[in-house]
Amino acid sequence: MKTFEELGVSEEIRRAIEELGFEHPMPVQEEVIPYLLGNGNDVIALAQTGTGKTAAFGIPLLERTDPTNRSTQAVVISPTRELCLQIADDLKSFAKYIKGINIVAVYGGTSIIDQIHALKHGAQIIVATPGRLIDLMHRGAAKVQEVRNVVLDEADEMLNMGFSDSINEIFDNVPADRNTLLFSATMSKDIERIALNYLHDHKEIVVGSRNEGAENVNHIYYMVNAKDKYLALKRIVDFYPRIYGIIFCRTKAETQEVADKLIRDGYNAEPLHGDLSQQQRDITMQKFRQHITQLLVATDVAARGLDVDDLTHVINYGMPGDTESYTHRSGRTGRAGKKGTSISIIHTKERGRVREVERTIGKEFVDGTLPTPQEICSKQLFKAIDEIEKVDVDEDQIAPFMEDINRHFEYFDKEDILKRIVSLEFGKFLKYYANAPEIVKPSTQRDRKDRNEGRDGRKREKRAPESGYRRLFINLGKDDGFYPGEVMQFINRNVHGRQDVGHI
Ligand code: AMP
């Protein structure tokens, strides 16, 4: 493993990033940093958020910036205001020990006058959304004639958002002998076109395989009838009392509707979509980042700028329209060495989409069976007990109230009090699930066939092993994080030689 020093990173920046806890370069940094430190070197990097890409382009940008020259030397273009702010913040922290570097973020949806003022003081690095940068260029506030580095971040997303013309216009106005770095989660025809028009002899790097779902993510689908979709969502959320996740919907209207229902049903949820004001979206994202909100119901686009590393679950309320969106969504969980789960609530017609995704990511989805009311109630009970056990009791603070407390509970015995305390949180689940509507798993034609017939088409004894195989039972399962992959790992670790394992 190389060091940042070996990659050619200067002492000032090394000091700053060490303080941020960067010990060794991440793979994208190892490839991109030394290359971009040279001149006239273009790169296309297929890398998603979380791979360390900001430092990969940010560090060489800073190295190549002359702090004594006030003119704009680099522009970073990114699709959303949130990303701009995040990138600018990161760059500022990498530049902590370099004197005289001014980094300014400019984006739409807010006063242009303040941004013009900010640029007047001279910004060597501008981080911008495409439309606003063009606007500022037209007004003469952003001057890009001396730019030596252009970075397009989340290029695929910018093209999806219709920024193609703005991007062309920016490229047409910066000097030809610049470095261009294009980051994208996916490679498409449009990206290839930009590369052809504006990049010279570029190096292409892929960070992780874009066809690979994150190692730490388990993929599950629950198939339900359309009318049961929301009920299924509730069950899933109830079954994971400590869930911290994003529920992705396809449209703004659906996002709002699902969030409204969850809020009405007493969940700690909030919507995030483009019909909300920028201010509302900022507040919502802030609350979610701080774990004040437990469930964020969002559209793909609105959730773009949100970077959180510790999601336990991503829930697809219906399969997304394309595989790229699926991998993007599911890649938001299972980060930073943690396990994550990507759950899809689908109807029978979407099974084909699941198969498509399976082929692309090279991983099978688990065909999930929704947790039963009883399983959910046990989970919730366990959580309620756990919370009571973990309560921090401040003896001194509570002492003055103890006399009153004792008097009130004089006639309750211990069991009575326990029942009441546990019911405070847990009671609503018992009540709901006592009469919860049944959710019937729709059976597909193939299910019906599988259930009745063996591979040879003959009627098969229910649950009988295939010939030559023996059936083994393991008292662990999905709920314990013990998926087929774990079963295989366990077997391989403990049994030497080749093993034939049939259906798990
Ligand atoms: P990004 O893909 O740029 O959003 O980065 C993902 C996260 O990784 C951010 O929180 C960075 O601060 C962090 N990070 C980037 N490079 C390194 C590194 N070399 N060592 C440790 N953490 C890093």
- Are 289 and 306 in contact by the 8 Å Cβ rule? The answer is yes
User: Which residues neighbour 360 within 8 Å (Cβ) at sequence distance 6 or greater?
Assistant: 211, 323, 327
Does residue 457 belong to any structural domain of this protein? Answer: no
Alpha-carbon span 452 to 469, nearest angstrom: 19
- CB of residue 380 inside a 6 A radius of ligand 1: no
Alpha-carbon span 110 to 324, nearest angstrom: 31
Alpha-carbon span 381 to 376, nearest angstrom: 9
Residues 169, 262 share a domain: no
Alpha-carbon span 73 to 91, nearest angstrom: 14
Residues 107, 21 share a domain: yes
Report phi then psi at 151, rounded to 5: -120, 130
Alpha-carbon span 22 to 10, nearest angstrom: 14
Q: Hey, how many other C-beta atoms are within 10 angstroms of the C-beta on 250?
A: 16
- Are 194 and 155 in contact by the 8 Å Cβ rule? The answer is yes
Does residue 59 belong to any structural domain of this protein? Answer: yes
- Ligand 1 atom closest to the Cα of residue 49 is 2
Residues 197, 49 share a domain: yes
Q: What pLDDT score was predicted for residue 337?
A: 65
Residue whose token pair is 């509302």: 280
Pick from 7, 13, 22, 91 the residue to mutate for probing ligand 1's pocket: most ligand atoms within 8 Å of its CB: 22
Last residue of a domain, one of 206, 230, 248: 206
Q: What is the DSSP string of 309-338?
A: S-BSEEEEES--SSHHHHHHHHTTBS-TT-
Pick from 54, 82, 87, 304 the residue to mutate for probing ligand 1's pocket: most ligand atoms within 8 Å of its CB: 54
49 pairs with which residues across the strands? Answer: none
Does residue 501 belong to any structural domain of this protein? Answer: no
Alpha-carbon span 213 to 115, nearest angstrom: 40
Q: How far is the CA of 50 from the centre of ligand 1 (A)?
A: 6
Read off the tokens for 355.
Answer: 């198969």
Residues 96, 190 share a domain: yes
Quote the number of domains for the chain.
4
Maximum CA pair distance of the chain? 85
Q: How far is the CA of 488 from the centre of ligand 1 (A)?
A: 32
- CB of residue 25 inside a 6 A radius of ligand 1: yes
Residues 328, 251 share a domain: yes
Read off the tokens for 441.
Answer: 């798993």
By alpha-carbon position, which residue is closest to atom 19 of ligand 1?
25
- CB of residue 49 inside a 6 A radius of ligand 1: yes
Alpha-carbon span 123 to 470, nearest angstrom: 70
Q: What pLDDT score was predicted for residue 74?
A: 97
- Are 287 and 293 in contact by the 8 Å Cβ rule? The answer is yes
Pick from 3, 7, 26 the residue to mutate for probing ligand 1's pocket: most ligand atoms within 8 Å of its CB: 26
Does residue 211 belong to any structural domain of this protein? Answer: no
Alpha-carbon span 451 to 461, nearest angstrom: 10
- Are 22 and 161 in contact by the 8 Å Cβ rule? The answer is no
- Ligand 1 atom closest to the Cα of residue 51 is 2
Instruction: State the residue range of the domain holding 479.
Output: 462-494
Last residue of a domain, one of 145, 173, 206: 206
- Ligand 1 atom closest to the Cα of residue 90 is 12
- CB of residue 57 inside a 6 A radius of ligand 1: no
- CB of residue 341 inside a 6 A radius of ligand 1: no
Alpha-carbon span 457 to 452, nearest angstrom: 9
- CB of residue 48 inside a 6 A radius of ligand 1: no
Q: How far is the CA of 27 from the centre of ligand 1 (A)?
A: 11
Read off the tokens for 482.
Answer: 């013990």
- CB of residue 332 inside a 6 A radius of ligand 1: no
- CB of residue 53 inside a 6 A radius of ligand 1: yes
User: Which residues neighbour 190 within 8 Å (Cβ) at sequence distance 6 or greater?
Assistant: 156, 159, 164
Alpha-carbon span 356 to 420, nearest angstrom: 50
What ranges in 177-306 are assigned the alpha helix state H?
189-198, 229-239, 252-264, 278-289
CA distances from 278 to 81, 282, 291, 331, 377 (A): 9, 6, 20, 25, 39
Mean pLDDT by 10 residues, the chain (504 residues): 92 95 88 84 82 91 94 96 92 95 94 94 96 96 95 90 92 92 83 87 71 68 92 93 93 94 93 89 92 94 81 94 85 78 92 86 86 86 82 88 89 86 81 84 61 46 66 77 78 75 78
- CB of residue 208 inside a 6 A radius of ligand 1: no
Residues 170, 195 share a domain: yes
Residue 242: alpha-carbon gap to chain centroid? 17
- CB of residue 14 inside a 6 A radius of ligand 1: no
Does residue 456 belong to any structural domain of this protein? Answer: no
Residues 156, 61 share a domain: yes
Say which CATH number the domain at 333 has.
3.40.50.300
Q: How far is the CA of 51 from the centre of ligand 1 (A)?
A: 7
Q: What pLDDT score was predicted for residue 463?
A: 58
Q: How far is the CA of 36 from the centre of ligand 1 (A)?
A: 18
Q: Hey, how many other C-beta atoms are within 10 angstroms of the C-beta on 448?
A: 10
Q: How far is the CA of 332 from the centre of ligand 1 (A)?
A: 14
Residues 221, 165 share a domain: no
Read off the tokens for 344.
Answer: 């899809």
- CB of residue 245 inside a 6 A radius of ligand 1: no
Q: Give the gyration radius of the chain's Cα atoms.
A: 27
Last residue of a domain, one of 206, 226, 256: 206
Which amino acid is located at 53 in the chain?
K
Report phi then psi at 395, rounded to 5: -55, -45
- Ligand 1 atom closest to the Cα of residue 23 is 20
By alpha-carbon position, which residue is closest to atom 18 of ligand 1?
22
Residues 288, 223 share a domain: yes
Q: Hey, how many other C-beta atoms are within 10 angstroms of the C-beta on 469?
A: 12
Residues 100, 17 share a domain: yes
- Are 134 and 77 in contact by the 8 Å Cβ rule? The answer is no
Q: How far is the CA of 26 from the centre of ligand 1 (A)?
A: 8
Torsion angle of C-alpha atoms 337, 370, 228, 345, degrees rounded to 10: 30
Does residue 442 belong to any structural domain of this protein? Answer: no
Residues 173, 108 share a domain: yes
Sheet bearing 203-206, strands edge to edge:
103-106, 125-128, 74-77, 149-152, 179-184, 43-46, 203-206
For residue 340, the 8-state DSSP code is E
- Are 80 and 248 in contact by the 8 Å Cβ rule? The answer is no
Q: What is the DSSP string of 148-206?
A: -EEEESSHHHHHHTT-HHHHHHHHHHS-TTSEEEEEESS--HHHHHHHHHH-SS-EEEE
Q: What pLDDT score was predicted for residue 336?
A: 66
By alpha-carbon position, which residue is closest to atom 22 of ligand 1?
22
- Ligand 1 atom closest to the Cα of residue 21 is 21
Read off the tokens for 280.
Answer: 């509302």
Does residue 245 belong to any structural domain of this protein? Answer: yes
- Are 156 and 184 in contact by the 8 Å Cβ rule? The answer is yes
Q: How far is the CA of 32 from the centre of ligand 1 (A)?
A: 14
Q: How far is the CA of 52 from the centre of ligand 1 (A)?
A: 4
Q: What pLDDT score was predicted for residue 445?
A: 54
Please choose, from the candidates 124, 144, 9, 122, the residue with its C-alpha nearest in 3D space to the C-alpha of residue 63: 9
Q: What pLDDT score was predicted for residue 241?
A: 86
- CB of residue 50 inside a 6 A radius of ligand 1: yes
Does residue 2 belong to any structural domain of this protein? Answer: no
The helix/strand count (H/E) of the chain reads as: 19, 14
Q: How far is the CA of 29 from the centre of ligand 1 (A)?
A: 10
By alpha-carbon position, which residue is closest to atom 20 of ligand 1?
22
By alpha-carbon position, which residue is closest to atom 6 of ligand 1?
50
Beta strands at 340-346 and 366-367: parallel, antiparallel or unpaired: unpaired
Residues 40, 169 share a domain: yes
